[in-house]
Amino acid sequence: MGTARVLGAALIALGLAAGPAAADSSPSPSASQDGRGPTRAGTSFRTATEIEQGQRATATASTGDYLYWSFPADAGQRPTVRATVKLPGRHAAQTWQLDVYDGLRRRQACQYGAQTRTAAPGASSVELACVLRTVRAWSEPWADDPLPGTYYVRLTAVGLPAADRGLPVGAGVRADSADAGGAAAVDGSLAAPLVPGVAAKSVQDEGGSPDPAVLSSLEPADGWTSGWWSDRWVWTAAGGLLAALAGIGGYALTRGAGRPGRVPPGA
């Protein structure tokens, strides 16, 4: 009975530890219930329109324009950016490209997804996607790892024929993230997230003159964690508890309860 009780307690402890880890692996919740976002796009890094993860931003533009959006991404997240371009009725073959840059404006490679696609003549739309590497809480200065902070999305057509320049198009962009959990945790953190982007929504003061530009105002719903917490702590604590329970169980099994004592020599 004692051994069964020990094993039962171990299984319960393992289940409690696995609960938070399973929750962390689910995608981040949407920023709003309907997921609707801004209806415009910036034309440069400095004027990139801010969106939250889970929002779908839309914009009307012309072929040949550069469209920019920005969103926050924290340590342990693996962002996925998707874009849809609605094309005019008549057009030649068009190649569209989706690029993602970090807070230092370094272009980040896509692990998965069609980052560049060519729409056939007369096609009604083209879809692109980019799955980034997991954002790390800390990295060597010379490395090109994704770090916590603002990420920029740039959408544009490349190699356009002259006849297609200026045609009206509609664009939609959405950024989501999945939590990579403790497997992506590192021993270190940044002093501050990389958020050098300038917000496009600068307001005017009472006199009508624009306020000074401000740093990007968006951040994750739970704030910047910078990697101080991960489910690796849960599994470490669970492993220590299981080791202690295993030691108690092993002692109970090898103690030999009810074994007769040794008979003294010469008795």
* 15 inside domain: no
* Helix/strand/coil for 116: strand
* 21 inside domain: no
- Long-range own/partner contacts, residues 17-21 (CB < 8 A, 24 or more apart): 17/234, 17/235, 17/237, 17/238, 20/231, 20/234, 21/181, 21/182, 21/231, 21/234, 21/235
Q: Is the pLDDT of residue 177 over 80?
A: yes
For 154, the domain range is: 28-228
* 185 inside domain: yes
Query: Distance (Å, rounded) from C-alpha 91 to C-alpha 100?
Result: 27
The pLDDT score that the predictor gives to residue 244 is: 84
The pLDDT score that the predictor gives to residue 19 is: 43
* 235 inside domain: no
Beta strand 67-73 with 49-50 is parallel
Q: Is the pLDDT of residue 249 over 70?
A: yes
Q: Could you tell me what percentage of the chain is helix, strand and coil, using 3-state DSSP and rounding each to the nearest 5?
A: 20, 30, 50
Number of structural domains in the chain: 1
* 11 inside domain: no
pLDDT band at 238 (very low <50, low <70, confident <90, very high): confident
pTM score, whole prediction: 0.69
Query: Distance (Å, rounded) from C-alpha 156 to C-alpha 68?
Result: 9
CB 114 within 8 A of CB 98: no
Provide the CATH number for the domain around residue 211: 2.60.120
Query: Distance (Å, rounded) from C-alpha 47 to C-alpha 209?
Result: 18
* 60 inside domain: yes
Query: Distance (Å, rounded) from C-alpha 63 to C-alpha 94?
Result: 9
The pLDDT score that the predictor gives to residue 14 is: 44
CB-based contacts of 201: which residues, under 8 Å, 6+ apart? 50, 217
The pLDDT tens digits for 196-223 are: 744 444 444 445 555 444 556 677 777 7
CB 181 within 8 A of CB 75: no
The residue whose two tokens read 């690029």 is 99
CB 188 within 8 A of CB 104: no
pLDDT band at 90 (very low <50, low <70, confident <90, very high): confident
* 9 inside domain: no
Query: Distance (Å, rounded) from C-alpha 63 to C-alpha 156?
Result: 8
CA-angle at 193, arms to 188 and 195, nearest 5° = 160
The pLDDT tens digits for 55-67 are: 999 999 999 999 9
* 233 inside domain: no
What's the whole-number mean pLDDT along residues 138-155?
A: 89
